[in-house]
Each structure stands twice: as structure tokens, then as C-alpha cells.
Structure 1
Amino acid sequence: MSHTSDSDDEITVPRPKLFHHDEPLHKILGGGNVADVLLWRKRNVSAGLLVGVTLIWFLFEVVEYNFLPLLCHVSITTLVVLFIWSTVADLLKWNRPEIPEIILQESYFHDLASIFYRRFNQFLQSILFISCGADLPRFVLVVVSLYILSVIGSYFNFVNSLYVVFLCIQTLPIVYEKYEEEIDNLVGTIILGLRKKYRWFEKRYLNKIPRGPVKEKKTR
């Protein structure tokens, strides 16, 4: 009987998705410049950002630069290069270096702040929903995942942790967009398996716990 009930559950209960969305991932990420960068729609910007952050991580962790000396050395190098460029330009009648008015577009910061605001509110709502015990298998899955992350994070310092988070942000969205169906099926299978085990545990143990009579509220 248990096998038939499990098979019925697999047929009648829809397989849960990872993010419960029907919209494209690009629109969920804001649909702007930040989404283009995260999904590698602007490959030059995404690759440049990845190389830049990797270089910073390399200087801090491998070369073991401190922040202030690194900042000073980068500034000195920039000043020397601009000075040589300006001097050579005057001698050879070239155009002198010009500082661009806008290095980064303002829309990047607006898109990033908007995405962070919406996703943070959704994160708080999800945490509240899970912590209320409405979906115990998902609650257990989140707790176990956070514990595993805490164990993994104990082996990394702060800079390495930030770099790993950045790599996840740069790679996971495009991987999920490319293999969305496979990832949803895998996550759905895990959640359905946890629900089956919880129902078995509930029937085997929780339902056998004696409970006192429920007192009816007096109505005036």
C-alpha cells in the first residue's frame, strides 16, 4: 500500500521548482544591465569583471598584499603611466589622455540596488514561511544546507569567502538558465524524497505520541 501511495503522490503532487517562477530568469534578475552581466549577455563586461576580481583576489591572497599598500602602488602606477603618456603625446603631437566623464553607468547601480531590495524582501518572506513549519522537509533541507555552508566556510577566510560568493554569483545564474529543467528535476526529487520520509516518520512515531484532549473555548 505504501508503494501505491508514493506513486500516487508522484502523479498528483506537482514536482516543486527551485524558484517557483514562470518568468524568464533574465526578468527575475531585474531585466537590466545587471541581469545582462550575470547571464553573460555582455561577455566583455562579465569577463572583465571576473578577471578584475580574480586579480584582486590573487594580489590579496597569493601575493599577500595589504589593502593600503596595494591602493598606493596602483595609484602610483596609474600616475606614472599617465605622466609618460602625456609627455610622449606632447612631443609627438598625439592626443593627451582624457579621463572619461562616466566610468560606470548610473543605471548599473540603480539596477543592482533594485534587485537587492526585491530579492532581500523575498528572502525574508521565504525565511519566515519556512521557519513557521509550513513545509518541514524544506525547513530541514535549509537547516542542513546552512550547516554544511558553515562547515565549509570555517576553512576559508573572509576574502576567500567573498571570492567564492562572487564566483557563485557569476556562474550559477547562467548555469541554471542553461540547465533549468535538469536542476528543477533534481531539487524536486530531493524535496519529494524528504516529504516521503517525513510522512513515514510522522506515521511511525509522531502519530503515536499521546495528546491531551483539546479544550473547547467558552463562548459568551
Structure 2
Amino acid sequence: MGDFGRISVHNALGGGPGLSHFISSHFDFADILLWRNYYGGGAVLIGSSILWFLFEKGGYNIIAFIANNLLLLVVILFLWAKSASLLNRPLPPIPELDISEETVLIAADEMQVWVNHVFSLAHAIAVDGNLKALMLVVSSLWLISYIGSFFNFLTLIYIGVLFSLSVPFLYDMFQSQVDGKLIVVHKILLPVLRKADIVFKMIPSVQYKQKKNQ
């Protein structure tokens, strides 16, 4: 693989079309994940670490924590607005929050892609009897269940944040070396994958049996 065959990690994290690109253009998530925005990456890392420590080690309840903070925020804004009207001070600087129709349409398009993909997998398993799709879904769900048995949901989210802030950054730095190793692994696994594909094709599908019986 030459340099012309490499992908841009920055574009893969939000440079393409769709909702990810729309969000990235406004919040620069790609720069945060790749640590090009040091303040944003540091804020995400420190904030997630503090929240994980409070809820996991400190024993705080996440629902009570969110409710108490929202209650405090609402009371502060209310008192601020009342005192501002009495003392001729500026009102709280709260921006106009409005979701545009373009944002809703982009989100709906992205959701449609994922929902159609799930439906296609369900159709391939339940109707076509696709053994390969079944094995892929079963192995993925088993892996998620196995990993989740070692951690609770909050710790899994925190681990996901740590991986999101480290894996893309390291891959962007050592992309050529990682791609070289992946090519070697792919060449080793390719014969095994081809043999497995032949075995899967030898197993007749449910739909084929139904047509044959008809």
C-alpha cells in the first residue's frame, strides 16, 4: 500500500457527507479525537474522568446528580432574571435554541441507513437463512456480552471515551506501520476466510429449500 492508498483519518472521523460531517463542522469532533484541539481533548478527558470517579468511586447517583444540577441551574436563572429586571441588569445570556429542518432531515437520513441495515440483517437471518450473517451477529453480540460482564455500563462508556481519544490519534501517527501489519494479517487470514466462505455457500439456505419444495 502506497501513500496514495491511505485514507485521511480526519475525514473518516467527520469529513464525509451526512450528519457526522454536519456535527463535526460545528463542534470539530475530529480535531478533538485527534488531539489537534488540545483544549477540547483535555476537557473531554478530564471531564469524563471526573464524572467516572464521582459516579463509580464516589457513590453518586447519576440521575440524582443530573436532577440536582438542573434544579440548581433553573433556580439560578430564575433569580438572575428577576434581579435583572429589578436592578436594570442584562438578562441571562441564553441563546435561542432551535433545531433547523436541515438538521432533522440529515439525522433522519442517517437513522434510515442504520435501520435499513438492521432490517437487512434480520431479513437475511430469518428469511434467507444466511448462516454467515447469523454467525456474524451472534459472535458480535456474544463479544459485547462477554466484555460487558467485566464492567458496568458507566465504566464501558468511560473506556469507550478513552479509546476514542487514543486509538484514532495513535493510528493517525503510525498509519503506515499499522497498515503494513494489517496487510500481513489479512494475507494470513485470507485463505481461512475463503475456506469458511466456501463452507457457508455449501449450506443451502432456507429460501432455496422452500423454492425446491414448491
TM-score by length of 2: 0.53
Report the aligned-residue RMSD. 4.8
Query: In 1, distance between residues paired with 2:116 and 2:39?
Result: 31
Given the superposition, is the C-alpha separation of residues 30 and 163 from structure 1 closer, same or farther in structure 2, using an over 3 Å criterion? same
SS of the residue aligned with 1:102?
coil
Task: From the superposition, tell whether residues 93 and 48 of structure 1 become closer, same or farther in structure 2 (CA, over 3 Å).
Answer: farther
Q: Once the 2 structures are TM-superposed, how far is the Cα of residue 158 of structure 1 from its aligned partner?
A: 1.6
**Higher relative contact order (Cα pairs below 8 Å, separated by 6+ residues):** 1
Structure 1 position 171 matched with structure 2 position 175: no
Change over 3 Å in CA distance of 1:22–1:185 after alignment to 2 = closer
Query: As a proportion of its length, which structure holds more helix?
Result: 2
Residue 38 in structure 1 maps to residue 33 in structure 2: no
Residues 1:58 and 1:85: Cα distance change in structure 2 (over 3 Å):
farther
Are positions 1:162 and 2:146 aligned together?
no
Deviation, 1:95, is 1.7
- CA displacement 1:9-57 (0-9 Å, x = unmatched): xxxxx79xxxxx6442232333124383134255555544444444443
CA distance in 2, matches of 1:84, 1:76: 12
5+ long unaligned stretches in structure 1:
1-13, 16-20, 133-138, 203-220
Kept in 2: contact 1:34–1:108 (CA 8 A) = no
**Contact kept in structure 1, 2:14 and 2:30, CA below 8 Å:** no
Query: Does structure 2 conserve the Cα–Cα contact (< 8 Å) formed by 1:57 and 1:163?
Result: yes
SS of 2:160 mapped into structure 1:
helix
Deviations 1:148-199 (A, max 9, x none): 7654432101221122123323332232222211221232333344558x6x
Relative distance call for 1:53 and 1:100 in structure 2 (3 A) is farther
In structure 2, the gaps of 5 or more residues are 16-20, 125-131, 196-214
CA 174–57 in structure 1, closer or farther in 2 if over 3 Å, else same: same
Q: Deviations over 1:38-97 (max 9, x none)?
A: 342555555444444444433322232334322321122213433454466457643221
- Matched AA of 2:14: G
Secondary structure class of the residue paired with 2:151 = coil
Q: Which structure 2 residues correspond to residues 26-105 of structure 1 after superposition, within 5 A?
A: 26-31=10-15, 32=21, 33-34=23-24, 36-40=28-32, 41-86=36-81, 89=84, 93-102=88-97
Larger radius of gyration: 1
Q: Report the Cα distance in structure 2 between the residues aligned to 1:27 and 1:111, rounded to whole angstroms.
A: 18
